[in-house]
Amino acid sequence: MISLFLYESPIGYALFEEVKSDETPTNLQQLQQSKQSFESFSKIIRIKSFRPFQGNEQALKEITALTECQIGEYLKDFLETALAGAGASIISLGVADQTLASKINEQFGVQVKTDDFSLEIIKGIRQYFTEFTQKEGPSLIL
């Protein structure tokens, strides 16, 4: 199963993918240890795609939709594009907000998780978001 994680940043939306390896943590304690540095965290999580907002007006519109637990048009288009080609049954999507998670599940039919493990990964993504985007650059923009 492909494990993806949605991160809603002030500058756009990003999807991150769990890297399956011998170093992949299997519990919260191991995950918290992996978050100690960008070098160790980036061995288990990589940025898959990023779509920046096209200005302040769009950012405000999307953030407003999120605060109302709605899927804005830009987020909808981003998820449709990013998830295209992968079967919904093979994707697990970690999301920080439970209400948004249920809306995404209803609309896209993907398994959505808001468990402690997913939330801890999203915290790490938030912590190292700048490093991820600087490392990958424009090659990941959808």
What residues form DSSP beta bridges with 35?
none
Among the ranges given (7-16, 42-51, 81-90), the one the predictor scored with the smallest mean pLDDT = 81-90
User: pLDDT band for position 141 (50/70/90)?
Assistant: low
118-132 residue pLDDT tens: 999 999 999 999 999
- For domain 2-140, which architecture applies? 2-Layer Sandwich (3.30)
> What's the whole-model pTM score?
0.89
Report which secondary-structure segment, H or E, holds 89: none
pLDDT at 139 over 60: no
